[in-house]
Amino acid sequence: MSINKENLNTEYPSFGNYPKLYPSEVKHWSWRHIPPNFSSFSAKFLPRGFGKSYGDSCLLEGGILLDTTQMNKIISFDRESGIIRAESGISFDELLNFLVPRGYFLPVTPGTKHISLAGAIANDVHGKNHFSAGNFGNHITKFELLRSDGRRLICSPEENKDYFAATIGGLGLSGIITWAEFKCRSSPTPYFYVENIKFRNLDEFFEINEVSEESFPYTVAWIDCTAKGKHLGRGIYNRGRHAEVGKDNIPNKSPKDGAKPFPFEIALINKATTKMFNLLWYNKQIRKKTKGISHYNPFFYPLDGVGGWNKAYGKAGFIQYQFVVPLASGKETVRKILEKISSSGLSSFLVVLKTFGDIPPSGMLSFPMRGITLAVDFAVSRNSLALCRELDVLVNEGGGRLYVAKDSRMKGADFRRYYNNYEEFSKYIDPKITSSFWQRIQEK
């Protein structure tokens, strides 16, 4: 298909701003009882939330993006059980503003709260509590799926089970989620008891991780990817639990939640700044262990505090490489990959390492599996893309797979092997929906 690039709408990039693929048109859907007039659509479309997917799974070049973020009402909330039903375009930010004062919290959240409820389902997102809570999709009790033929399917683990499993982690391809219902977890305060522990190398990470998962529902680690040799894999381990009234010292006053803007679209992130950042980050903590009470914003969303940080990689954009490898071969694969990254000289600001638990996901294409996951960012360049291809080999050897929500470059053949439900899933794709990601992985 040839696309006239001059008329494309450039206001809807992906989070990594790579690849640069723009829609011909953006439509808005605002009221869930008034379906879009699909028969008037001149091209295929893709439902779109806040565009926080890093690569092309939230893009559709030359097609129609259907922005659902105005569909953001709460439908019902049961104070006793903590079950909330809301329209799909509502953001996690809005949900938190609603839930936290009422003593509840999201059951699972990724590292940004600027995502939509539907996007959280479509990517079956995970967070720091994967080993104790599974993915976000594990907490979904029900949702409504609108197909482009006008059918509205109520999906749950009991009803329309197949569409339920295809839509969770289904990348928005199986239809439009109009509303969803999930069970919140109780959280008497907005605060968390948090401990940060420095570790000197990868082995120490695994030691701390093992004991932490027994007593803390939330764990994650930041790795200094510039460290080599005996320091390889050094970093800071972060673990926490919901603060408890009477046990923890809860502050009276809520901190201000305002992101400091990062408007400069110049390549601020380069080898020198990254090296310095990683050094500062590792050394900001002098003591082996610190502990304290943290509001949920810095605990879960440290980067949301730096508005537009994704632009700091410059105009070319950036890619994130996130993989998971099974535990058995995982330690060795992670070590090899860190060695490759640190010796490449291509460095990354924040490298995140954690382990996934064994709660089975609800979706056909869900990413997490029992194992170790590592996420690393690179500015887009010929070298970084070449490095990613080398990392692919190690991930594949280790029996791992890559995360679609972060991807803009994996090979179609790899995708189809990583996600062996691929063919089964394809049956549930809405005939009028596609994405640039989906088109890409059909090739090669």
Partner 1 sequence: MYKKILIFGASSELAHQTAIHFAAPGVHFFLAGREVQKLQTISDDLTAREAKIKTSIYQIDALDFDLHQKLFEDAAAVMDEIDLVIIAHGTLAAQEEIQNNIDDILREYGINCTSVISLSSHAATYFENLGRGTLAVLSSVAGDRGRASNYIYGSAKGAVSLYLQGLRNRLFKSGIKIITIKPGMVRTKMTAHMAASPLFSKPEDVGKGIYKAIISGKDVAYVPGYWKIIMAIIKSIPESIFKKLSL
Residues that bind partner 1 (CB under 8 A): 11, 28, 30-34, 67, 70, 73-77, 79, 84, 94, 98
Give the residues across from 375 on adjacent strands. Answer: 322, 352
Residue with Cβ nearer partner 1 (33 or 287): 33
**Nearest approach, Cβ of residue 86 and partner 1 (Å):** 8
The span from the CA of 353 to the CA of 303, in Å, is 16
The span from the CA of 189 to the CA of 249, in Å, is 11
Residue with Cβ nearer partner 1 (32 or 113): 32
Residue with Cβ nearer partner 1 (73 or 241): 73
**Nearest approach, Cβ of residue 94 and partner 1 (Å):** 7
The span from the CA of 435 to the CA of 291, in Å, is 44
The span from the CA of 92 to the CA of 74, in Å, is 12
**Nearest approach, Cβ of residue 66 and partner 1 (Å):** 12
Residue with Cβ nearer partner 1 (25 or 339): 25
The span from the CA of 312 to the CA of 330, in Å, is 31
Residues 6+ apart with CB under 8 A from 273: none
Give the residues across from 130 on adjacent strands. Answer: none
Tokens at residue 95, please? 């949900």
Residue with Cβ nearer partner 1 (68 or 167): 68
The span from the CA of 311 to the CA of 267, in Å, is 8
Residue with Cβ nearer partner 1 (10 or 39): 10
**Nearest approach, Cβ of residue 78 and partner 1 (Å):** 9
Give the residues across from 176 on adjacent strands. Answer: 146
Q: Is residue 262 a contact partner of residue 309, using CB atoms and an 8 Å limit?
A: yes
**Nearest approach, Cβ of residue 115 and partner 1 (Å):** 15
**Nearest approach, Cβ of residue 415 and partner 1 (Å):** 32
